[in-house]
Amino acid sequence: MNFRHEFIEFAVEHQVLRFGAFKTKAGRLSPYFFNAGLFHDGASVARLSQFYAQAIQASGLSFDMLFGPAYKGIPLVTGIAIALAGAGCNLPFAYNRKEAKDHGEGGTLVGAPLVGRVLIVDDVISAGTSVRESVALIRAAGATPAGVAIALDRMERGQGTLSAVQEVAQNYQLPVIAVANLEHLLDFLRDHSELSAHQAAITSYRSQYGALS
């Protein structure tokens, strides 16, 4: 089993990836739901970070540091930096506050100075707001956004024909690295006969709402 399928199995075991009927922000009835916030203990976050590190290194992307947007990106960027260091790639990282600090060091940024090529890490890309804000912060510091790493790409179109991930890639000319995407999920379900009912539901959902590849 490759690491992408291992990640999906891991997410299912921790009920982070669930199957059923879930209403999305767009009002669609999705047959699956992914909530990375349910990785909320030391062991699961450590393993999640290792999956991110594997996907990032497999991408071959060149970058100098990591940035995690508040709030979900803060534990992610810390864990991923630790996992990369354990794999022999020790890099600085930073994150932001939602509210500027008016005492001490002040400002909204915490951690290493934003320099060079910066990889943004987050859980998912939905409306792209977090990426937009991160890109603005990185550029304002004189650094260069290098790409975005996320856990799961739903490959689902937004209001137009593109998915949220495709829109980010197009609007900012940034590569998006996903630990797994909808195709990996469907491949995983095909290999697990006990989940075949979910495979049919997700295939149907994709035919209705999937983005053009």
- Residues noted as catalytic: 101, 103
Instruction: Give CA separation, 1 vs 5, 7, 103, 196, in Å.
Output: 6, 10, 50, 18
Going by their DSSP bridges, the two strands 107-111 and 117-121 should be labelled as unpaired
Apex 57 CA angle, 9 and 7, nearest 5:
5
Domains and their CATH numbers in the chain? 3-209 (3.40.50.2020)
Residue 81, Cβ density class (10 Å: 0-12 exposed, 13-18 middle, ≥19 buried)? buried
pLDDT band at 89 (very low <50, low <70, confident <90, very high): very high
> Region 59-66: what's the mean pLDDT?
98
pTM of structure: 0.93
For the cut 90, the answer to whether the pLDDT of residue 63 exceeds it is yes
Whole-number pLDDT of residue 101 = 55
Model confidence over 11-56: pLDDT tens digits?
Answer: 999 999 999 999 988 889 999 999 999 999 999 999 999 999 999 9
